[in-house]
Structure 1
């Protein structure tokens, strides 16, 4: 019973055990008591409930716990150039979203309104972040495994990744632009209780959402996007600077140390990072029944 950060810590603790294959099968439930509660909001959406927040969201998630239906969840394995290996249950963000998340921490006592204040402040002092982004799109993964996979690790093998010191495989897509406002990798539908970031719905097994906003977007349009995100209407603007791609792996190499990464709402040092999603890696209490339709790219 906490925010997204506690689920992150629990899953990473389980994956660090020598018996991780058995330990990670322990069913988990998220009862929201944080300020973001994006994972709980996503589970609420999968259950077919209306979008709610605070006590109403807690009530809905408690009902899901009482019903005790389990659903498999994707898990994102992340590697940094410094050698760190962590798992994400929700998201990795860089740029605008990460700054709002981390910089608004000092307003935590205000609840979810902290993100509104953080958004307005960051819009007033909007930054451009330089880096190289590459990804492995869905449908381009068959029979094209890298020749030199990532070093041995605990947990499932990251078969689509090569060491960060090497170029990405030739069948990956490299984004030509290197000036961004934000980059967001998202495993679920919500980025907060009232931030319906992926209205296309729940990803199928082994797939995650990649969003990025290229530099050049106006402050007014960026504000419109974030306001519309409350109801999942932001993709309807057809903004040329906002891009969404379904992917199974990605690499992000910042060109300087500007900004930071936010992984499931937790701070991570800004450095080259890459990741691969693993399908159905752990189980959570969820309202969607087995075999329920997921979004297919």
Structure 2
């Protein structure tokens, strides 16, 4: 996306073969298509498939750093587990379990404020990025839904203040292979799905939430907020980790906007959204 011809390069479709310990986008694709989550099946989707649109997000901080994401942004418990478990990468997916247990026992809490654009007052176009911008200009996709990062949050946005025990924003149903974070989310529905727990959860409630992630049962708990939006701002009052697609992102204030169908991936036609 930092290339001068980003508008051409980003349309180059890529294929996905699972490996390592995350594989969220691959798992989301295979689940949508009813395929087994195996390398052979993923190779089949590439060979027999055609370019399909996927959503991408722009994230920026007050230091003028800009990042692009095809999957998720995590803070609080999830980001700490993701980044601190790098030490145990040789254990594969088990590294997340070990780091999660250690983090629950630490009784740590995170402080910050989430502000987001409610979909009921969002008047932006629901068409895809390329339908709205057939010949995009500029050095990057426009961030027309975001306010100046140093300015107050718009009055029509909603705000939820912490402390937070859990925060994970995703464009796909499964941001990792064993985590059904956002049931009903589609990789090109044009929305960011935020799952958050803006309160001090007990160890029992935190464990409940984490166990529910495998099946999606966590969204039924009263202490879990499920938010659907196209743009949001996360303002932290601490220096704890923020993880974007598994990489560390700095800055006390972070803004994110969704771009519907900006990227492309090779696979079979995706089912219609419901």
Query: Do both proteins adopt the same fold according to a TM-score greater than 0.5, normalized to the shorter chain?
Result: yes
For residue 210 of structure 1, report the CA deviation from its aligned partner: 1.0
Relative to structure 1, the CA distance from residue 41 to residue 252 in structure 2 (aligned partners, 3 Å threshold; closer, same or farther) is same
Distance 1:40 1:241 in 2: 29
Distance 1:59 1:261 in 2: 33
Residue 105 of structure 2 corresponds to residue 121 of structure 1: no
Aligned position for 2:25: 39
For residue 250 of structure 1, report the CA deviation from its aligned partner: 0.3
CA RMSD of aligned residues (A): 1.8
The runs of 5 or more residues in structure 2 that have no matched partner are 126-136
Q: Contact conserved, 1:203 with 1:209, CA < 8 A, in 2?
A: no
Q: How does 1:224-243 map to 2 (within 5 A)?
A: 224-235=208-219, 238-243=220-225
Aligned position for 1:159: 144
Q: How does 1:59-98 map to 2 (within 5 A)?
A: 59-98=40-79
1:191 aligned residue (175, 181, 186) = 175
Q: Contact conserved, 2:63 with 2:251, CA < 8 A, in 1?
A: no
Distance 1:110 1:270 in 2: 30
After TM superposition, where is structure 1 displaced by more than 6 Å over at least 4 residues in a row? none
Higher relative contact order (Cα pairs below 8 Å, separated by 6+ residues): 2
For residue 227 of structure 1, report the CA deviation from its aligned partner: 1.6
Aligned position for 1:210: 194
What is the TM-score with the length of structure 2 in the denominator? 0.90
Q: Contact conserved, 2:53 with 2:262, CA < 8 A, in 1?
A: yes
Distance 1:163 1:74 in 2: 23
Aligned position for 1:8: none
Distance 2:213 2:8 in 1: 38
The runs of 5 or more residues in structure 1 that have no matched partner are 1-14, 145-151
Q: Contact conserved, 1:138 with 1:207, CA < 8 A, in 2?
A: no
Distance 1:101 1:78 in 2: 18
Q: Contact conserved, 2:181 with 2:195, CA < 8 A, in 1?
A: no
Aligned position for 1:294: 273
Q: Secondary structure at the match of 1:230?
A: coil
Aligned position for 1:148: none
Q: Contact conserved, 1:44 with 1:287, CA < 8 A, in 2?
A: no
What is the TM-score with the length of structure 1 in the denominator? 0.84
Aligned residues: 263
Aligned position for 1:29: 15
Aligned position for 1:253: 235
For residue 211 of structure 1, report the CA deviation from its aligned partner: 1.3
